[in-house]
Amino acid sequence: MKRLLAMIIALSIFFLSGCGILTKGVTVAETEEYTKITFDNFEGKKKIELAHDSPNEGALYYKTNITSGSIKAFYVFGILWDTEKLFEASADNNSIGPGYYIDSSISKITIYFEADEPVSGEVIISFAPIS
């Protein structure tokens, strides 16, 4: 009986500790033209995957509007590709990024966001130029 109780407690602790894995403070909204990522006191790491379903070559553009804190973003096109820095932005340093080349063979792009301090604001990611 003690072993059963110990197993139930151990499993409960394991599953309940997994609840902290969920990233709080990030909202992702996708439209046909762009993907908008909104941060509300986000701190930590977040991975977002974007489908690139165009059969043609293209480009990856971004626009930042960070209102507090700072954030870094990296992108990778797949397992065989290196992770590259997309941008680093803060409340004092917002920008519109140039297009990063996307080969026609790329079907998925993974973007990683990292914030060492609470950050608020938004980032827009698009496959077309952003004004």
Q: Which of 2-16, 39-53, 80-94 has the highest mean pLDDT?
A: 39-53
CB 67 within 8 A of CB 91: yes
DSSP code string of 31-96: -SSEEEEEEEEEEEEEEEEEE---SS-EEEEEEEEEEESEEEEEEE-STTSPPEEEEEEETTB--E
* Tens digits of residue pLDDT in 89-122: 999 998 888 878 888 878 888 999 999 999 999 9
3-state secondary structure of 104: coil
Q: How many CA atoms lie within 13 A of 48 on its CB side?
A: 22
pTM of the prediction? Answer: 0.77
